[in-house]
Structure 1
């Protein structure tokens, strides 16, 4: 086991029996390259039926070159949230994010579900899903600043403010495993690490 991996005790056996699949929460600061590594991993595992990459619903226009998500208006999102259309939802940076409730079906079949979520939502994820693993993708501060600035969507002051308000990662006690990927080199290396983690994630054959 690599030194950047922290394994946690198994979740409650009764809950695991109800929903045996593992929810893999991918988290990390802006500029860490989460979307890039997730897109690469999804392509690498395209023929792996037991690993499902969740597509988020977000209340902003999709930018294909940056991330892949479904778009929903604020009013429609609020209605969907109130009606239970999401298995997990959260608000950050003035936007609303949600994961389709249908992912529960994949988990109940023993699949590994991978999703990019906010670090502030980990406690909710731990309470919502019976089996939780966490993958933190990060990079040195200078790399984060350079990557966010390269997007061209914020002024230098706004970039600095975004990086400064990043919260510390708190791993819920119920998490089965915690992995950290330092994504400051070639994206291929980070992708290989992520794929290895996902393929090792405990799941029942579907």
Structure 2
């Protein structure tokens, strides 16, 4: 499978070193929802792309937007250098296409939903890094995860209990925090403001 191009919001800005915006946060925080809404708002803004991830799990159109690979195909693609970042979490493999590195070199702001476990690697690979942390109170996280119907209540509680304070890697240009416990439109506005100021 060949990953689709990133969702482009106006193409690449010439020259300079682009900013990699790592969007992170716990399950149930609403990262996918806010990213999709922000991508709509910034569709005509030059120099920003929203990275489309490759995941070894089928996409659910209502809540996720990613390309799918089998575990075997993912491992082969990873070994061939098809990803600029890849990681494992919750029994799944995740990757970002290697062509995003070219976008960054061309001065584009790349926005990607990633795991905090790749912060150190991102800081090494990309000249400029900023972090947007999207979170919500535990009760909100539990309710949202339960609504997906993928995990038993005890599994959800254990997942929430494992959450730890985010550690910002040295060299990160900025750390923004969005508490996404109100309407999606409120979180959308906050994320768009951050990305417009960063680009």
- Report how far residue 19 of structure 1 moved: 6.2
Q: Can you give the 5+ residue segments of structure 1 that lack an aligned partner in the other structure?
A: 1-17
Question: Take 1:123 and 1:64, find their aligned partners in 2: how far apart are those partners?
Answer: 31
1:35 correspondence with 2:24: no
- Report how far residue 170 of structure 1 moved: 0.8
TM-score, length-normalised on structure 2? 0.90
For CA contacts below 8 A with separation 6 or more, give which structure has more relative contact order. Answer: 1
SS in 1 for 2:21: strand
Partner of 2:114: 117
TM-score, length-normalised on structure 1? 0.87
SS in 2 for 1:103: helix
Partner of 1:199: 196
Partner of 2:9: none
Question: Take 2:20 and 2:164, find their aligned partners in 1: how far apart are those partners?
Answer: 22
SS in 2 for 1:181: strand
Question: Take 2:113 and 2:163, find their aligned partners in 1: how far apart are those partners?
Answer: 16
- 95, 100, 124: which one aligns with 1:98: 95
Partner of 1:165: 162
Question: Take 1:71 and 1:58, find their aligned partners in 2: how far apart are those partners?
Answer: 5
Once the two structures are superposed, the pairs formed by residues 148-187 of structure 1 within 5 Å of their partners are: 148-187=145-184
- Counting matched residue pairs gives 185
Root-mean-square deviation (Å): 1.2
- Report how far residue 151 of structure 1 moved: 1.0
SS in 2 for 1:144: helix
Question: Take 1:61 and 1:185, find their aligned partners in 2: how far apart are those partners?
Answer: 28
- Report how far residue 49 of structure 1 moved: 3.0
1:74 correspondence with 2:63: no
